[in-house]
């Protein structure tokens, strides 16, 4: 896998969204109930805020996990906006600055700064649009505090010792480098993604993304030492109170076989001409 000059970097998320079955495995997923079932607040349906609600949930979970593991906290979307001079005199930037300082401050518990986390969640909206109506909808979005407390109980039950979050990973495939950002990795062996949805089954693209993160992490950390590694893959749906889990063993031979199959698929797929495929923001 040579990283030759001119090779294109592509968002693994968008790539897999277009080819959702490309990395699906036959390994079964087990499903566990880890909390009560909740519904979206009505405003999420009325204003089509499903993605924004998911962003909020991941930011809330990130805050809780960083407190539990005593990790410094940050959000790349927010920091890009705060460092962008085009927002220098904008009222929303002042509001975002104050909210972000509370968000990253370990003295504040996540459930006590829900409004501030909603404001931080606006950063993704602001990255792609400056329509203030959309931003205000996120600020005014209702959340279910019982759901948030159930999330905290789930997080407190996690038995791991170390946490990394939003860590870039990449994998070279023919003329492409696929780049992704898994939500959370525990103990270098447990990959956890947050999936806020009312659907009780896993999307094919979610399974493919999880396997991509596993392959990329294995290649970077264990492949060159010819080591065998066991991974636990977890998809956590905080809305339904469900954890999907799979255990998979990877060695160098298995990696080479899967990677070779992936490269063959990439060869026959249409060439990518959409510039957003390589937009750094879409990788997140």
Backbone dihedral angles phi then psi of residue 264, each to the nearest 5 degrees: -65, -40
User: What pLDDT, on the 0 to 100 scale, is given for residue 160?
Assistant: 98
Q: Tell whether the model's pLDDT for residue 67 goes beyond 70.
A: yes
Q: What's the whole-number average pLDDT of the chain?
A: 88
Q: Which two tokens stand for residue 136?
A: 């205000």
Task: Give tens-digit pLDDT for 120-142.
Answer: 999 887 776 555 667 788 889 99
Q: Please state which of the ranges 23-32, 48-57, 82-91, 155-164 shows the lowest mean pLDDT.
A: 82-91
| Mean pLDDT, rounded, for 63-69 | 98
Task: Evaluate if residue 275 carries a pLDDT over 60.
Answer: no
Taking the C-alpha atoms of residue 56 and residue 60, their distance in angstroms, rounded to an integer, is 6
Task: Return the pLDDT at 88.
Answer: 60
Distance separating alpha carbons of residues 231 and 218, to the nearest angstrom: 9
217: its two tokens: 């992490």
Two structure tokens written together for 26: 């036959």
Cα separation, 241 vs 38, whole angstroms: 8
> Rounded distance, CA 230 to CA 191, Å?
11
Question: 116, 251, 232, 114: which is closest to 184 by C-alpha?
Answer: 232
CA distances from 259 to 60, 174, 218, 252 (A): 35, 10, 12, 10
Which among 62, 118, 72, 125 is positioned nearest to 95, based on CA atoms? 118
Average pLDDT over residues 166-170: 94
pLDDT number for residue 17: 87
pLDDT tens for 253-262 read 999 999 998 8
More confident of the two residues 174 and 170: 170
Token pair 């103990």: residue:
187
Is a pLDDT exceeding 90 seen at residue 216? yes
For residue 7, count other CB atoms closer than 10 A to its CB. Answer: 14
Coil, helix or strand at residue 157: coil
The pLDDT score that the predictor gives to residue 7 is 64
CA gap 64, 75 in Å, rounded: 14
Q: What is the rounded average pLDDT of the residues 64-92?
A: 88
pLDDT at 278 over 60: no
Using one digit for the tens of pLDDT, what is the confidence trace for 11-61? 888 888 888 888 877 788 999 999 999 999 999 999 999 999 999 999 999
């Amino acid at each position: 896998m040579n990283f030759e000059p001119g090779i294109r970097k592509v968002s693994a998320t968008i790539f897999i969204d277009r080819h959702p079955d490309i990395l699906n495995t036959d390994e079964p997923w087990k499903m566990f109930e880890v909390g009560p079932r909740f519904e979206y607040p009505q405003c999420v349906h009325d204003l089509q805020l499903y993605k924004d609600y998911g962003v909020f949930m991941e930011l809330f979970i990130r805050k809780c996990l960083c407190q539990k593991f005593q990790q410094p906290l940050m959000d790349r979307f927010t920091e890009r906006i705060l460092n962008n001079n085009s927002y220098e005199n904008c009222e929303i930037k002042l509001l975002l600055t104050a909210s972000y300082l509370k968000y990253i401050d370990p003295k504040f518990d996540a459930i006590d700064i829900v409004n501030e986390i909603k404001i931080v969640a606006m950063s993704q909206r602001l990255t792609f649009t400056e329509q203030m109506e959309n931003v205000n909808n996120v600020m005014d979005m209702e959340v279910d505090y019982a759901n948030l407390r159930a999330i905290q109980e789930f997080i407190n039950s996690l038995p791991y010792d170390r946490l990394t979050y939003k860590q870039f990973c990449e994998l070279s495939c023919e003329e492409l480098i696929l780049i992704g950002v898994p939500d959370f990795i525990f103990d270098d062996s447990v990959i956890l993604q947050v999936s806020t949805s009312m659907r009780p089954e896993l999307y094919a693209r979610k399974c493919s993304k999880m396997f991509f993160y596993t392959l990329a992490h294995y290649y970077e950390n264990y492949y060159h030492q010819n080591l065998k590694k066991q991974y636990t893959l977890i998809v956590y749906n905080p809305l339904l109170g469900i954890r999907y889990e799979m255990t998979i063993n990877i060695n160098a031979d298995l990696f080479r076989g899967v990677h070779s199959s992936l490269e063959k698929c990439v060869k026959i797929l249409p060439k990518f001409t959409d510039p957003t495929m390589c937009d750094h923001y879409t990788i997140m």
